[in-house]
């Protein structure tokens, strides 16, 4: 059945990968060479950046207070604990205009965080335009595909036909393109930008087949948008907001509704930026910090929220209530991921040094029956299913990338990867590329390691003199194969792309 098909698929891939051995070997040599070259000199290039008025610099004002509920601190619910305001008591005078108060339960206005003179109208228009085109192409095509015959908006740097839908592409079981694409991955100067100040904690592409819009959230609660294809006169396509005051832990943009951008935060709130109504609305609030946010692909009203010490809340946005509050882990849940083959299966990665798979159909009170537990020696920073859903990849501070395959992911292997990012960088999280054959993860030498889960080793390292800082957090464009965003602790985003040789 399914498992037989899987092995067949795996075998086929293995065969392909063996065929590409020589090419990969060549790549290794090449990457060694670039490594040496890059190490030789590192220049400081100032590329695109958000607009900052120097008087309004983001001072690191407020001490970061991790929210903890009264319950989890062992206090009765009515006792006076950490009040909402204690998060932002001191030194708020030089704050950005988006005054955040925890008491803003309903909404707060969308405001440019730094340069008020720069209008965000182009952004709103771009988002609304994307949104419109997306629904149009879906309606006319049945399937998501960028016909791009009406590509007036996107200045058509890309050739027609390059916006190949991932969904159609992935059906091709031939992965011969992989090493070719890998080889052609490049970082261009125009694809480097400082999107937010400070450390980026979360980065996301808009799930649009005909645009490249990147959202980044940082340590200070800023959310920055980078319209990579921006071609207007005013500004540079970068827009900065501040819907939160402490680190952003998750960004969510729904494929069918690009005008709603959800952000989760250590402050315990989920807000939705509604580009249509120009507001940051409160969606969800918790007494605990939110560390992770996810959503099943086919249910836009369900939010899976990792909060507090190991809690997972399932929020029904239609009803406006939590349908479940589950106690899954001993420590914070860093990632929540849904399996594409079976939407009832999720994987969680936790600082309690485990990753787990769960069956959502087995909810019983605040308990969920664990399917499998994958144990690391230290905190697990991420646990993501591959595109096909057949493999799970974990990243841990114990310097291991874990690979789990098989019908119940029982077939485990480990790949060594140095993951000691220290205190000033966001932790590394290995993400999957556009099929099951590649994993991308940052390294401490300002490179992007490409790891083959089948070979169980690094097959190449992306490096560029333009990458002046360590890329920690990544997102792969959901529709454009080979378009990869890496985000740094200095607020920069690097968008790697493949050389567009028309095929």
Partner DNA sequence: AATCATCTTACCGTT
Partner DNA sequence: AACGGTCCAGATGATT
Give CA–CA dist 357/383, Å, rounded.
Answer: 9
Q: How far is the CB of 380 from DNA (least distance, A)?
A: 8
Choice between 201 and 209, CB closer to DNA: 201
Question: Which is it for strands 223-227 and 213-218: parallel, antiparallel or unpaired?
Answer: antiparallel
- Provide the 10 A C-beta neighbour count for residue 30: 13
Q: How many residues does the chain have?
A: 503
Choice between 164 and 469, CB closer to DNA: 469
Q: Which residues are CB-contacts of 403 (< 8 A; sequence separation ≥ 6)?
A: 391, 392, 393, 412, 413, 414, 415, 453, 456
Q: How far is the CB of 179 from DNA (least distance, A)?
A: 28
Q: How far is the CB of 310 from DNA (least distance, A)?
A: 11
Choice between 27 and 192, CB closer to DNA: 192
Q: How far is the CB of 353 from DNA (least distance, A)?
A: 6
Choice between 60 and 362, CB closer to DNA: 60
The answer to whether the beta carbons of residues 102 and 84 sit under 8 Å apart is yes
Choice between 197 and 453, CB closer to DNA: 197
Q: In what order do the strands lie in the sheet containing 354-364?
A: 333-338, 345-350, 354-364, 367-375
Q: How far is the CB of 77 from DNA (least distance, A)?
A: 16
Q: Which residue ranges make up the site for DNA (CB under 7 A)?
A: 57, 60, 63-64, 66, 73-74, 194, 197-198, 219, 247, 266, 332, 334, 351, 353, 378-379, 381, 397-398, 420-425, 427, 444, 446, 468-470, 488-492
Q: How far is the CB of 218 from DNA (least distance, A)?
A: 10
Choice between 453 and 486, CB closer to DNA: 486
- Give the relative orientation of helices 21-40 and 176-184 as an angle to the nearest 10 degrees: 20
Residue 499 Cα distances to 146, 162, 182, 192, angstroms: 19, 11, 10, 16
The answer to whether the beta carbons of residues 295 and 286 sit under 8 Å apart is no
Choice between 89 and 420, CB closer to DNA: 420
The answer to whether the beta carbons of residues 382 and 373 sit under 8 Å apart is no
Q: How far is the CB of 488 from DNA (least distance, A)?
A: 6
């Amino acid at each position: 059945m399914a498992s037989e098909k899987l092995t067949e698929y795996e075998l086929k891939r293995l065969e392909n990968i063996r065929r590409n051995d020589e090419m990969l070997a060549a790549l290794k040599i090449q990457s060694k060479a670039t490594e040496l070259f890059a190490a030789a000199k590192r220049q400081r290039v100032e590329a695109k950046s958000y607009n900052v008025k120097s008087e309004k610099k983001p001072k690191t004002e407020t001490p970061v207070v991790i929210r903890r509920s009264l319950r989890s601190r062992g206090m009765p619910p009515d006792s006076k604990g950490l009040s909402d305001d204690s998060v932002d008591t001191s030194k708020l005078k030089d704050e950005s205009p988006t005054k955040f108060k925890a008491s803003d339960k309903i909404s707060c206005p969308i405001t440019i965080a730094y340069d008020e003179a720069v209008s965000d109208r182009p952004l709103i228009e771009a988002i609304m335009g994307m949104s419109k085109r997306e629904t149009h192409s879906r309606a006319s095509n049945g399937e998501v595909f960028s016909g791009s015959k009406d590509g007036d908006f996107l200045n058509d740097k890309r050739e027609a036909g390059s916006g190949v839908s991932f969904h159609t592409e992935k059906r091709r079981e031939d992965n011969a393109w992989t090493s070719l694409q890998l080889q052609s991955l490049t970082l261009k100067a125009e694809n480097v930008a400082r999107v937010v100040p400070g450390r980026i904690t979360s980065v996301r592409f808009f799930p649009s087949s005909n645009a490249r819009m990147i959202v980044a959230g940082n340590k200070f609660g800023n959310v920055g948008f980078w319209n990579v294809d921006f071609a207007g006169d005013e500004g540079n396509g970068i827009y900065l907001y501040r819907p939160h005051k402490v680190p952003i832990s998750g960004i969510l943009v729904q494929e069918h509704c690009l005008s709603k951008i959800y952000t989760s935060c250590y402050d315990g709130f989920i807000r939705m930026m509604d580009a249509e109504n120009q507001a940051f609305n409160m969606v969800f609030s918790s007494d605990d910090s939110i560390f992770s946010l996810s959503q099943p692909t086919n249910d836009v009203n369900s939010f899976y929220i990792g909060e507090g010490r190991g809690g997972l809340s399932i929020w029904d946005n239609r009803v406006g209530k939590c349908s479940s509050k589950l106690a899954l882990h001993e420590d914070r849940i860093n990632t929540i991921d849904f399996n594409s083959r079976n939407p009832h299966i999720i994987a969680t990665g936790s600082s309690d040094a485990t990753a787990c798979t769960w069956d959502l159909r087995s909810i019983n009170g605040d308990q969920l029956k664990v399917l499998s537990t994958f144990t690391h020696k230290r905190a697990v920073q991420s646990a993501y299913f591959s595109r096909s859903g057949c493999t799970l990849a974990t990243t841990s501070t114990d310097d291991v990338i874990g690979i789990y395959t098989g019908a119940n992911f029982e077939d485990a292997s480990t790949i060594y990867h140095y993951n000691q990012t220290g205190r000033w960088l966001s932790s590394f999280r290995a993400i999957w590329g556009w099929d099951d054959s590649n994993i991308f993860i940052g390294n401490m030498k300002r490179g992007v390691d490409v790891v083959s889960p089948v070979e169980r080793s690094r097959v190449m390292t992306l490096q560029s003199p333009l990458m002046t800082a360590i890329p920690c957090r990544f997102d792969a464009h959901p529709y454009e194969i080979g378009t990869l965003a890496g985000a740094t602790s200095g607020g920069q985003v690097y968008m790697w792309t493949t050389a567009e040789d028309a095929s």
